Structure 1
Amino acid sequence: MKIVVGIKQVPETTNVKINEKTKNIDRRGLGGVINSYDLHALQAALAIRNQVGGEVITLSMGPDDFAVSLQETLALGADKAVLLSDRAFAGADTLATAYVLSEAIKKVGQVDLVLVGQQSVDADTGQVGPIIAEMLKVPQVTYADKIDAFKDHLVIDRKLENMEQTITAKLPILLTATDKANRPKYTNVVEIAKSFDKPIITWHAGDLDLDEKRVGQAGSPTIVRSISEPQKVAKKNHRLSNDPATAARELVDILKQKNILTEDK
């Protein structure tokens, strides 16, 4: 089974700055980590490969330094990785991102399963996976909690707000994985060393059959009108006495001052 796993690198810090001109996250100087939901998708793909055999290919779109995250996916067990890197891709919204990813998946060829995380922790839209499925014209099952693989089909369990479902789905298909799908493993020194023998392939815009009007900002109908950084609020604290009885009286007084406790009349 040939499996492609979508990987997004997200900022590893909560101290995120906003570019006032582009209204995008200013990633300069920020470290990056793999989106946590994508790690669950990767672990699910590796488990499926162990069940039925095949190949796991990780795919990411971003600047050249995203190769670090793809190297980590190779250390975790992926067979090879593809980085889509070109200035033309900059400023892409979910539609333009999904378009480039779907064209790359077509170039990979004969893909049986596409796995992505249910959403990214920086944007939280959950849109890219379903859009890719529509562009590839394949069925999709979102919010997969458990996946069992067979030669020509999958059995997927998922929990929605008001129901639980078990779905049997034929290939090819796209799945979005939840954080309940598995427990991602960690790499070790041996796996990291072995990962450097696996290929990371870089494709630029010219390597794909792309309509330039559909990539980057030109292909992004979504426009961010305004965005702001969260306001930092200074937290006040009050140190209570070490004596339990005194501390109890102090706490009661504080709660009364805040009208959380009232005296019975």
Structure 2
Amino acid sequence: MCERQRIYERRFIDDQDPPWTDSDVLQEYHFCNVYRRLDYTTQHLLDEVLTRENDRDVFFNTVIYRFFNRPKTFQSIGGFTPVDRFDPDGMCHALRLYEEDHPLFSSAYRVTTHSWADSDSKAVNIVKGIIRDDLLANFDYYCESVLEAESMEDAFEVLCELNGVGEFLAYEMVIDLNYELLPFSENDFVNIGPGSSSGLMIIFNEVHEDWLHWMVDRQEDLFAEFDLTFPYWEKRLTLRSFEHALCEYQKFVGIKEQDEVRRKFSPRDHAQDTLEDFA
């Protein structure tokens, strides 16, 4: 976690030339940032969706965005779209054209392959079978129940009711919405995903939420125990931060100790926001 955050600072704050680390694994392979909101896909969502004025439209576009989780795919369908201007046929047509030369979905996680709209196209099944036939058909219920939820867990459980949205994707969406629209702390609720579960097993030999709380509560002492000074840019790391980092940790261990084949790192050409933009 310390070295990954230092890589970010060396690259984007100090404007150093690569390599930004002595770690062969971190040099050669792709790892998400410790602070999730610094990742490229989340930054794009913050810039293009979450800061818009209409909360209903923000909720609608956040759900669409995370199904594909690729900024360029989102741009190919016209970007931010008010809910009352949603055109499923037009969106499917745009996705078919874009798919001829580009991947539609991020490799960060898998989304549903169920034939929600009886189509052989995953994109069509999502746009028509999920967005049109479930989210839009029951939009007032979903939107109001999430945005007026009394807890992060309540909002998460409503999102889980959506066709094709399991616990992993629901947690991604509720964390996104919590950046701007929801009032909760990332320490209020955590959903332990499969990657994080593997990380917990490596370290503690069991999967239990208590260990995440233990790391949050003792984080300064733990860094000091290993003679590390974490380069904080927010007050403290949260349950979400450790859940997120445990997933990256199990990837690191798999590459270093088991020669797992993972996505290689290639610096992007985009202009990424810096820590100051968020602080």
After TM superposition, the score normalised by the length of structure 1 is 0.27
The structure carrying a bigger helix percent of its residues is 2
Q: Which has the larger radius of gyration?
A: 1
TM-score by length of 2: 0.26
